[in-house]
Each structure stands twice: as structure tokens, then as C-alpha cells.
Amino acid sequence: MRSETTSDAPGTGPLAGRTALVTGGARGIGRAVVERFTADGAAVAFSYHHSAERAKELAAGLLASGVRAHALHADLSRLADVRLLFDQAEELLGGIDILVNNAGETLVASIKETSEEDYDRLMAVNAKATFFAIQEAARRLRRGGRVINISSANTRMRVPSVAVYAASKAAVEQFTLVASRELATRKITVNAVSPGPTDTDMLRASQSRQALDMAAAMTPLRRLGEAADTADVIAFLAGPDARWITGQNIVVAGGLA
């Protein structure tokens, strides 16, 4: 893993004095979370896999703002990388208070068209990586910490051609429920957030313009979600006002699901 590091200026805000590890933080919802957490005063480490240029650009922007963050390369489908990511984040941040399991991949393919390779890759990144990151959090997060797992409104919507993606996110929701009980002895809350269609690079790469327009039209609030819509909810769950919320799944979908 390689680290792109910003300055160590102390933060102010509701997350001042707290540290966070965000997986998949170089773009999309993860990037919005990194930006929101640092704006709220947290010191942040975030992982990236393919998006090295974007990760470095984000780190440079945070450095210019005088906040503390670290970009770490990791392939979270590999258990060794999950553990090494935590090792490095702990060393750089001096401990971890908040984990956001955001890294994930999507797949749009019918059941009859889905290959074993596609299935294994999606389950490795979306489900296996999240499970073992929660395991590391159970061992390493400081007392009173937060775990926030990103699921998807697709677990509720029965959309054709997303069976494996929805199943991988359904696993995340079950991990959340059980972990909320197991980590409660250390006053660590564990919650999930399920975004609906959100205007990110990943969504645009997997859907046609017509499909995006249809999703916006079907949403009661008449637009696609923005990354900041979900990041704001995640920031709430990470902050002091969510101290009495655990084992929940908050749907952020503009009323669609």
C-alpha cells in the first residue's frame, strides 16, 4: 500500500478529535464522505483501488485546506489487504474510531448471463471485504466507535439484472444486524445506509441515459440522488447525535424504496 498524506492540522466540528477509515474513498459516495468527515473535523484514512489519480487529487485538495487525511491503496477482495489497510490506518491515525464500509462494485447482468468469475468478484468485494473489515473493527475500534456499512435500495426493489449485486448487499445488511449486537458490549454502534440511484461514475457506467432518466422520474422527489445526500446521513450516524441508534438500515432514496 502507498500513502498520500495531508497535513496534521487539528480539526474542529462535531467529529473533532475522532478518526475514520473510509473504504473506496476516492470517488462517488466515498469521496463525499471523506470530504464531509474532514469538514466536520475528523482525521481520515481512505482506501482506493483503481482510482489512484483521483485519490491523489483528493489528498492534495485536503492538504490545501489544512486538514489531516491519508490515501491508501488496497485491493479489498484480498483479506491480506483488508488487514494491512487497518494496520496502516491505525499507525497513521493513532487509532480508529469510525469505519465506513463503502467500497464496492456493481454488476448488471441477468441470472442466466452471470459468470462464476463475475459472481465471485462481486461477492469478494461487496460482501467478503465488508465482513472482514467489520471483523477488524471488532478487534481494533476504540470504545464508543461507529461502523457504517453501505448497502443498496436494490435489496428492496426486485430490479431485473441485479441479482448478484442485490444479494451481496443483502449480506451486508445481515452482517450489520448481527454486528450491532456483538459490538454493543464496547458501545460501538453498527448501522447500514442504503442509497437509491445516485449520480456517480459507477451508476453512469452501468446504466443508459434512458434508465437514469426513468429512475429519476420514478423517484417521488423527481431526481437522482447526489453523493452528498448519502454522505450527510453517514456523517449523522458517525456523530454524537446518533449515539442511541444501532442495528438500523436507513434508506436514502428520495422515497423510491
The reply to whether 232 falls in a domain is: yes
Q: What would the pLDDT profile of 18-64 be if each residue is shown by its tens digit?
A: 999 999 999 999 999 999 999 999 999 999 998 898 999 998 889 77
The reply to whether 152 falls in a domain is: yes
The reply to whether 247 falls in a domain is: yes
The reply to whether 69 falls in a domain is: yes
Q: Which domain holds residue 16?
A: 3-252
Say which CATH number the domain at 162 has.
3.40.50.720
Give one DSSP letter per residue of 75-116, joined into a string. -TTSHHHHHHHHHHHHHHHTS-SEEEE---------GGG--H
The reply to whether 189 falls in a domain is: yes
Q: What would the pLDDT profile of 61-119 be if each residue is shown by its tens digit?
A: 897 788 889 999 999 999 999 999 999 999 999 999 999 999 999 999 999 999 999 99
Of the residues 48, 86, 131, 165, only one is catalytic, namely 165
Query: How many CB atoms are closer than 10 A to CB 65?
Result: 13
| pTM for the structure as a whole | 0.91
Q: 119 an active-site residue? A: no
The reply to whether 257 falls in a domain is: no
The number of folded domains in the chain is 1
